[in-house]
Amino acid sequence: MVITKSFLSGSLFTLFGAGTVLMAQNYAMGTAGRMGPGYFPTLVGALIILLGVAQIIRAILSPNKSEPIAEWELRPLFFLLTAVVVFAVTMSKFGLIPAVVALIVIARLAAREGNLLELAAMVAALTAGAVLVFVYLLNIPLKLGI
């Protein structure tokens, strides 16, 4: 059988719902009249499982209604998310300037076009722009990092 988008999303929903219900068991349940912190998440999680399973069944019964996933854009996905996380770490450890430089350079690897000169120009312009807008114009106290 072909794994379609709706089969996959149904499965992910079911897993998510199951995780929610399981985790919610660590919190006090209470009663309907006096709900504890676990009551509502359990309820919602159970509903998610129910709807997820319904979607799986529908996907199996009529597989033609949904198509399989075409392709994953793994390269841009990886570099873009890495760039953002590296920005986060650099920003809090060092400061704005190195963080923005790292962000642009790594994010640039996500696209294959453009040359080094263009990259340098972009780094210079955007770093200056970020400092100008956020630190000087908006007066947000961010450390610069140099």
Partner 1 sequence: MDVLGNLILGFSVALSATNLFYCLLGVTLGTFIGVLPGVGPLVTIAVLLPMTFTLPPEGAMIMLAGIYYGAAYGGSTTAILVNLPGEASSVVTAIDGYQMARKGRAGAALAIAAIGSLIAGCIGTVLIAMFAPPLSELALQFGAPEYFSLMLMALILSASLVHGSLLQGITMALLGVVVGLIGIDVNSGAYRFTFGILGLVEGVEFSVVAMGLFAFAIIVVNLGQTTAGREVFTSSVSGLMPTRNDMKRTWKPILRGTAIGSILGILPGAGQTIASFASYMTEKRLSRTPGEFGHGAIEGVAGPESANNAAAQTAFIPTLTLGIPATPTMALLLGALLIQGITPGPQVIDQHPELFWGLIASMFIGNVILVLLNLPLVGIWVAMLKIPYRWLYPIILVLSCVGIYSVNHSALDVSLAALFGLLGYIFVKLDCEPAPFILGIVLGPMIEENLRRAMLLSRGDPMIFVRHPISAAFLLVACVVLVALVLPSVRRTKDEVIVSESDG
Q: Which residues bind partner 1 (CB under 8 A)?
A: 5-6, 8-9, 12-13, 16, 20, 23-24, 27-28, 31-37, 39-41, 44-45, 47-48, 51-52, 54-55, 58, 66, 69, 71-73, 75-77, 80-81, 83-85, 87-89, 91-92, 96, 99-100, 103-104, 107-108, 110-111, 113-114, 122, 126, 129-130, 133-134, 138-140, 142
Q: Name the minimum Å distance from CB 5 to partner 1.
A: 5
| CB of 1 or CB of 105, closer to partner 1 | 105
Residues 6+ apart with CB under 8 A from 2: 63, 68
| CB of 96 or CB of 116, closer to partner 1 | 96
Q: Name the minimum Å distance from CB 142 to partner 1.
A: 6
| CB of 1 or CB of 73, closer to partner 1 | 73
Over the Cα atoms of the chain, what is R_g? 24
Q: Name the minimum Å distance from CB 117 to partner 1.
A: 13
Q: Name the minimum Å distance from CB 39 to partner 1.
A: 8
Report the b/e string of 79-113 with b at 16+ CB within 10 A.
bbeebeebbeebbeeeebbbbbbbbbebbbebeee
Query: Can you list the alpha helix ranges (DSSP code H) found in the chain?
Result: 5-24, 39-61, 74-93, 96-108, 116-130
Q: Which residue has the tokens 């997820």?
A: 52
Q: Are 142 and 118 in contact (CB under 8 A)?
A: no
| CB of 1 or CB of 45, closer to partner 1 | 45
